[in-house]
Every structure is written in structure tokens, then in C-alpha cells.
Amino acid sequence: MKVYLKYKKEIADDTLLFGFDSPDEALSYTPGQYACLKLPLKYPDEKGPERYFSIVNPAGQDRSIEIATRISGTGFKQILAGMQSGDAAKITKIGGKFILPQDVAKEIVMVAGGVGITPFKCMLADLVLKEEKRRVTLLYSNKNKANTAFYDELSQMAPAGYLVNAYFVMTRDESWPGPRGRMNARFIADNIPGYAKRYFMVAGPPNFVGGISQVLEELGISDVRLEKFFGY
């Protein structure tokens, strides 16, 4: 389906959010799913004109779709970053099984590495929109605060009752007053009471997701869903 850029904005260092409109067709998705975005390639890109992006905005805003990404030097990202309001692109597919469990009683731990926050932002914004409170804890790892997309919105969610707790963990920020370093087994055991029985959802670059899934295995946690952002 054809979509048109409505707005773009910087949401963290080197990280842009893009809002597209789909005037001709309604978009249907479940929070956590991805869209495959196809751009008219003006510069060469060895991986071609399409990339998958988790949808950021909650379902129900049926003619608009937001995605967010780290901008780099690939042809695709350069064209995306240079798009102007009204420019056309295509969504060639919407899909994915990385969605909230149907059982609303499950105690969920969302673990995001960098831009891997996108599917969780969608799920959480959808819960806020529906005023549905579930027991969700967020563990969100970034290099530093300037690199942390959606920091303000996410840090308001625990006080508003949409998160049990949010841990912003920085790997390279000496001045960060909160937790620092890589999330390891000790960090999870110390901060997530009853972790063995929680439902873990992990999203981000493959290295991050692979590392966390090893940590969860070490801790004997088996109820785990993974979303690897292949391409990073």
C-alpha cells in the first residue's frame, strides 16, 4: 500500500521517528508487529530497497503508521532521512508474532536494546490508550541518555501505573545516576523479584537479543519471546 510521509523528528541522537499517512487504505496491525517499508532507491544499497521496522504508534490510528530508526550511511537510511513531507513510499507487508500474551495476568518483563524499544513503545502506548493496566516491568539498555529514545514518555509510565517499574540502564555513561553496564544475570536476579516465573520479551539488535537470551537461560527462565532486528 502507498504511504506518504507526514512528519519526521529526532527522538534521540542519530535516531529519527517517521510518521506516514495511508490515505487510500486502512492499516491493520497488532501492537508489536512490524511493517516492511519500501523506498524508491536513489542511491545504491546492497541490501535493496526494503527494511522491516516495528510499528511505534498504537493500533486504532488506522490511517497512520510510525517507525523509528538509527540513521546510518546505507543508501536506504540516507533516502529515508532525506524524505520530505508528502514524499511517497510503500508498505509491502505487515506481520510478526511478537505481541503481548493473551493472558492479561502474566507478569511481563520487556527487555529492550537501543532501538529495540519500538515494539514495546507501541504495546505500552496501546495499553495507555485503552487504559488497560498490566503488570509490566521495563529494562531498557542504551549507550547513554542522549541515545535513549522515548525517555520522557517511558519514565512517566511507572508513576501513571502502566509499568510496575522502568530501569534505564546505560552502558557508556559515567554520569548516569541509575544502573550502568551490561545487563547480566545478577542485575536481573537483583531487580526482578520472582524472575523465574515472569514472561520475558526481548527486542533489539541480534547481538543484544542473543546475549540477553543466554543470561535468561543461565537464570533458568523459560517463558521467553525474542524479536531480533536482523540487519543490525
Question: Which chain residues interact with ligand FAD by CB under 6 A?
Answer: 34, 47, 51-54, 67-70, 72, 74, 76-77, 96, 114-115, 118, 205, 227, 229-232
Burial code of 190-227, b = ≥16 C-beta within 10 A, e = fewer? ebbeebeebbbbbbbbeebbebbbebbeebebebbbbb
Residue nearer to ligand FAD on the CB measure, 118 or 137: 118
Beta strands in the chain (DSSP E): 2-12, 15-21, 34-38, 50-54, 64-70, 88-95, 108-113, 136-142, 165-170, 199-204, 224-228
Residue nearer to ligand FAD on the CB measure, 31 or 205: 205
Rounded CA separation 8/149 (Å) = 14
Q: What is the DSSP letter of 10?
A: E
Question: What is the largest distance, in Å, between two alpha-carbon atoms of the chain?
Answer: 52
Q: What is the DSSP letter of 14?
A: T
Please, what is the minimum distance in Å from the beta carbon of residue 177 to ligand FAD? 24
Please, what is the minimum distance in Å from the beta carbon of residue 142 to ligand FAD? 9
Residue number of the CB closest to ligand FAD reads: 231
Please, what is the minimum distance in Å from the beta carbon of residue 214 to ligand FAD? 17
Only one residue has cell 541480534, namely 206
Closest Cα partner for 35 from 16, 14, 20?
Answer: 20
Please, what is the minimum distance in Å from the beta carbon of residue 51 to ligand FAD? 4
Residue nearer to ligand FAD on the CB measure, 8 or 51: 51
* Cell numbers representing residue 213 in the block: 537470551
Residue nearer to ligand FAD on the CB measure, 116 or 192: 116
Please, what is the minimum distance in Å from the beta carbon of residue 36 to ligand FAD? 8
Please, what is the minimum distance in Å from the beta carbon of residue 220 to ligand FAD? 27
Sign of dihedral through CA atoms 135, 131, 69, 24?
positive
Long-range contacts made by residues 174-182, C-beta under 8 angstroms, separation at least 24?
176/144, 176/145, 182/141, 182/211
Residue nearer to ligand FAD on the CB measure, 57 or 195: 57
Residue nearer to ligand FAD on the CB measure, 187 or 232: 232
Residue nearer to ligand FAD on the CB measure, 192 or 228: 228
Please, what is the minimum distance in Å from the beta carbon of residue 70 to ligand FAD? 5
